[in-house]
Chain A
Amino acid sequence: MQIFLPIADLPVNVFLVFAMGIAVGFISGMFGIGGGFLMTPLLIFIGIQPAVAVASVTTHVAASSFSGAIAYWRRNAVDITLALTLLAGGIVGSATGVGLFTWLRALDQLDLVIELSYVILLCVVGALMVTEAARAIIRSWQGKRAELRRPGSHAWFHGLPLKLRFKRSKIYVSTIPVLVIGLIIGFIGAIMGIGGGFLLVPMLIYLLRVPTATVIGTSMVLTFLTMASATVLHAVTNHLVDAVLALILMVGGVIGAQFGAHAGQRIRGEWLRLFLGLLVLAVGLRFGFDLVLRPPDLYSIRAMEGAP
């Protein structure tokens, strides 16, 4: 069944978009990520303009992460103090990122920067996650207990001033690294049009030593807060949010996310991290190949902004 999208200006198959929503929603519920880094390329692939795709995906991610956040909240798996502290840093990061975004667009180099950041970020993060998870799996095979929290392995930034006790996560660290992490996520999110959950989760685990129990729920709360505000910002600044597209995606997304969250609970943490790492790496490599291989068509056309 075809439906015409009012803002994206093209007809799409409802069931195809719905299925994409379910699939990405499943992955996002399972790993506690927004799934924007998967959904945006998929939408571009089916012919939706990148700007509309990015703007509408924020809405989809808001819905998907909100339903996930509620599910984790009921299981007491959300550290709201941590989420709000991250958000405070995130707002500053987003504002800086939007500024850079506008500047790069004026230079006609935005596409390249977006593609390069996808490649570098996804490949590096994916590779790190895969190596770490593989080590943890090998350790558990050798009969050693998987050490996620190594007591005494505090890094220098944990001892900075402004220490705060994040009760639910059972950590007592300086708010400075927390704010900085929020800032980085907000900045990258604004440039790449992603929620940044796949970056936030490993950062919280490896840098702040947040236990796996609360990390996903907390990341979901942060994601829905930033993505809901991003939806409003996109709608106000460039009028590119396609509510119809977003609705189809989010209905599929929330259904998928519920099943994903349940599946995620049954899989051991290190395996979950290995799968997510492989997924991130695969998307990164895919972008990398696009940059390195000779494109089938060297030319492309783009409508000029500001024209009627």
Chain B
Amino acid sequence: MRPALAVALALAGALALPLPAGAEGLVASLTNHHVMITSNFTGENVVLFGSVERDATTVARHTSYDVVATIVGPRQSLRTRRKGRVLGIWVNTSARTFVDPPSYLAVLSSHPLDAITSADNQRRLQLGLANTPLPELIHNDVGEVMNDPFRAALVRLMGERGLYSEEPNAVTFLTPTLFRATIPLPAQVPIGNYTVDVKLFADGHLIAHSDSAFEIVKVGFEQFVVNAARDHGLLYGVATALMALFTGWIASIVFRRD
């Protein structure tokens, strides 16, 4: 009885495994885990690289591998507003609140997403900007709105700022198993923690994935100013006002003409 149960359990366990023995492994890493915002920061690139691990037992593939990397920045609620004409002037007439959308979202892939996997899979795995959930506040509820022009505007405006992007050819394979991708961080990139989710596809199926993360921080003088302004508002304000008066006084001495 006991050995039979053990065998049954082992069998059940083997069948429940998502990946068969001998499947590919995925190793990915970043060149930089701490992006420092200093006074000369004008944007930066973080390079993602990785390799597909194969061994003798790995099944032979007839097609090449595909990689989709999704980089998600810290979340913050946003309001998208639309202007309408009221009495001849253009004013904000309607608005939607998006609950905690990513402040940065980049989807980098080795081919267009449709060429990598089916639309069904894309939806299920939330691949690409179109399939990323961006829930809205509806009355007191939070939910996803289909075909919403406000959602489209949010994605477009964030895209114009370089904060949302979908790059179908950003991941390049250096060898059949070694790949790299450049994550572009624009100057206005929000500070905080970023997650990097790398998915490996073959024949339209997800076969492995790997998570990593990096952090964007302000350092040195920038950090000092931000901390002072946030934690010691009164002191910061008085110091700034005194700085203004001092500058004005210095100028009146320097430019004195008598």
Count of chain A to chain B residue pairs whose CB atoms are closer than 8 Å in the complex? 196
A66 x B237 contact (CB < 8 A): no
Interface size on A, residues (CB 8 A): 65
Enumerate B188-232 residues with CB–CB distance to A below 8 Å: 188, 190, 218, 221-223, 225-226, 229-230
Please tell me which stretch of B84-92, B111-119, B121-129, B165-173 contacts chain A, meaning at least 4 of its Cβ atoms lie within 8 angstroms of it: B84-92
Q: Known contacts being A59-B240, A70-B252, is A239 close to B229, with CB within 8 Å?
A: yes
B92 x A303 contact (CB < 8 A): no
Is A155 engaged at the interface, CB distance under 8 Å to the other chain?
no
Is A295 engaged at the interface, CB distance under 8 Å to the other chain?
yes
A303 x B243 contact (CB < 8 A): no
A250 x B80 contact (CB < 8 A): no
Residues on B with C-beta less than 8 A from A231 are: 237, 240-241, 244
Please tell me which stretch of B36-44, B61-69, B176-184 contacts chain A, meaning at least 4 of its Cβ atoms lie within 8 angstroms of it: B36-44
Residues on A with C-beta less than 8 A from B79 are: 301-304
Is A272 engaged at the interface, CB distance under 8 Å to the other chain?
no
Enumerate A23-44 residues with CB–CB distance to B below 8 Å: none
A1-30 near B? 1/0 per residue, CB < 8 Å: 011101101110000000000000000000
Is B245 engaged at the interface, CB distance under 8 Å to the other chain?
yes
Min Cβ gap A262→B in Å is 8
Out of A10, A62, A300, A302, name the residue touching B241 (CB < 8 Å): A62
B95 x A108 contact (CB < 8 A): yes
Is A148 engaged at the interface, CB distance under 8 Å to the other chain?
no
B225 x A7 contact (CB < 8 A): yes
Q: How far is the CA of A293 from the CA of B83 in the complex (A)?
A: 12
A291 x B37 contact (CB < 8 A): no
Min Cβ gap B195→A in Å is 17
Is A141 engaged at the interface, CB distance under 8 Å to the other chain?
no
B229 x A257 contact (CB < 8 A): no
Residues on A with C-beta less than 8 A from B234 are: 232, 235-236
Is A292 engaged at the interface, CB distance under 8 Å to the other chain?
yes
B42 x A2 contact (CB < 8 A): yes
Is B76 engaged at the interface, CB distance under 8 Å to the other chain?
yes
Q: Known contacts being A59-B240, A232-B241, A239-B233, is A292 close to B248, with CB within 8 Å?
A: no
Is B130 engaged at the interface, CB distance under 8 Å to the other chain?
no
Interface size on B, residues (CB 8 A): 63
A234 x B81 contact (CB < 8 A): no
Residues on B with C-beta less than 8 A from A237 are: 233
A216-228 near B? 1/0 per residue, CB < 8 Å: 0000000010011
Q: Known contacts being A295-B90, A299-B150, A301-B154, is A4 close to B37, with CB within 8 Å?
A: yes
A233-272 near B? 1/0 per residue, CB < 8 Å: 1111101010110110011001101100010000000000
Is A214 engaged at the interface, CB distance under 8 Å to the other chain?
no
Residues on B with C-beta less than 8 A from A241 are: 229, 236-237, 240
Is A307 engaged at the interface, CB distance under 8 Å to the other chain?
yes
Residues on B with C-beta less than 8 A from A2 are: 40, 42
Min Cβ gap A255→B in Å is 6
Residues on B with C-beta less than 8 A from A251 are: 247
Residues on A with C-beta less than 8 A from B88 are: 292
- Residue in A3, A65, A250 whose Cβ sees the most chain B Cβ within 10 Å: A250
Q: How far is the CA of A170 from the CA of B41 in the complex (A)?
A: 55
Closest to B229 in A: A239
B236 x A304 contact (CB < 8 A): no
B244 x A291 contact (CB < 8 A): no
Out of B42, B158, B244, B249, name the residue touching A301 (CB < 8 Å): B158
B residues near A (Cβ < 8 Å) are: 37-43, 74, 76-85, 88-92, 95, 97, 150, 153-154, 156-158, 187-188, 190, 218, 221-223, 225-226, 229-230, 233-234, 236-241, 243-245, 247-252, 255-258
> Can you offer 21 A-B residue contacts whose CB atoms are under 8 A?
A3-B39, A7-B226, A64-B248, A71-B255, A112-B91, A224-B248, A228-B244, A231-B240, A231-B241, A241-B236, A243-B225, A243-B243, A244-B39, A246-B244, A247-B243, A247-B247, A250-B243, A291-B89, A295-B90, A298-B84, A301-B157
Kindly list the 10 A-B residue pairs having the minimum CB-CB distance in the complex, ordered from nearest: A235-B237, A66-B248, A254-B251, A67-B248, A299-B153, A232-B237, A63-B244, A70-B252, A258-B255, A6-B225
Question: Given contacts A4-B39, A66-B244, could you give 11 more A-B pairs where the C-beta distance is less than 8 Å?
Answer: A59-B244, A224-B248, A235-B240, A239-B233, A243-B225, A243-B243, A246-B240, A258-B255, A295-B83, A300-B92, A303-B77
